[in-house]
Amino acid sequence: MLRKEFTTRKGPLMQRRTHPLQGSLARNHSYSINFSKKAVLAYKLDPADLPNYTIRSTIFFVPVVTTFYNSAICGLSTVKRSGPNFIKAGANGTEVRLSLATEQLLLRVYANVSAFFMGCSMKILVQVSTVSLLVQLTEKRIGQLMVETFEVKLQEVKMEFTEIGHSSLYSNAKSFLEEKIKTFLTEELQSTLRSYIETQVERLNEFVRTKNLTKD
């Protein structure tokens, strides 16, 4: 449950600009969960369609092009609280903590793999029993939030590959993509999501700066 804590003190020393989060999000004690669920439903994010994308790599020194398409992720509506969630505003600035988890996420993706004149197609299912997310933001300077802590953990990841048609390339392509997906989930996912969160926080900070300049 979201909670808000305000520390006030009389005197001119405590006259400081408050972060916009204090006046909007902090008023709703169940914001983090209710908003997440409502957003998933309102934007029809369960299932959520993912954009197509292409990667270029090599298999045994052979250039390989892999295109992922018609991808979707199911289970975002299972989001729930996994720990303390709050927006706290006090003498040291604003602090935000989101601790969320989802159950039984399922990623479905189709892939076309081509190498020279050979090619193959496959359907990939990635099932994750639990995904937990922890985000902590702190206001290091007035009106500027920073990502203090970011953690994402996955439990019980299972993958299933189904060949579409038949190709002699499939076996090598399957092994290659299986390793790629494992590497992404274990090594790259956290840094990728953290980078995304930091970008969004910086956009919020820019909005705050613009708003304050407009007021001045």
What residue has token string 């020279």? 116
Q: pTM higher than 0.85 for the full model? A: no
Angle subtended at Cα 95 by Cα 91 and Cα 100, rounded to the nearest 5 degrees: 160
120 and 165 Cβ atoms separated by less than 8 Å: yes
Task: Give the pLDDT score at 31.
Answer: 55
Q: Would you say residue 2 has pLDDT above 50?
A: no
Residues forming beta bridges with residue 130, ordered by sequence position: 103, 155
From CA 131, how far away is CA 154, in angstroms rounded?
A: 5
Report which of residues 11 and 62 the model is more confident about: 62
Q: 112: Cβ–Cβ under 8 A, 6 or more apart, which residues?
A: 66, 67, 69, 119, 120, 121
Instruction: Indicate the pLDDT class of residue 32, thresholds 50, 70 and 90.
Output: low
125 and 73 Cβ atoms separated by less than 8 Å: no
pLDDT, tens digit, for every residue of 70-124? Answer: 999 998 888 888 888 888 887 778 888 888 898 889 999 999 999 988 999 999 9
Mean pLDDT of the residues in the chain: 80
Taken in order of first residue, the domains within the chain and their CATH numbers are 2-215 (3.15.10)
Task: Give the pLDDT score at 28.
Answer: 44
**Per 3-state DSSP, what percentage of the chain is helix, strand, and coil (rounded to 5)?**
35, 50, 20
Cis peptide before 51 (omega within 30 of 0): no
Task: Give the pLDDT score at 192.
Answer: 85
Task: Give the pLDDT score at 164.
Answer: 95
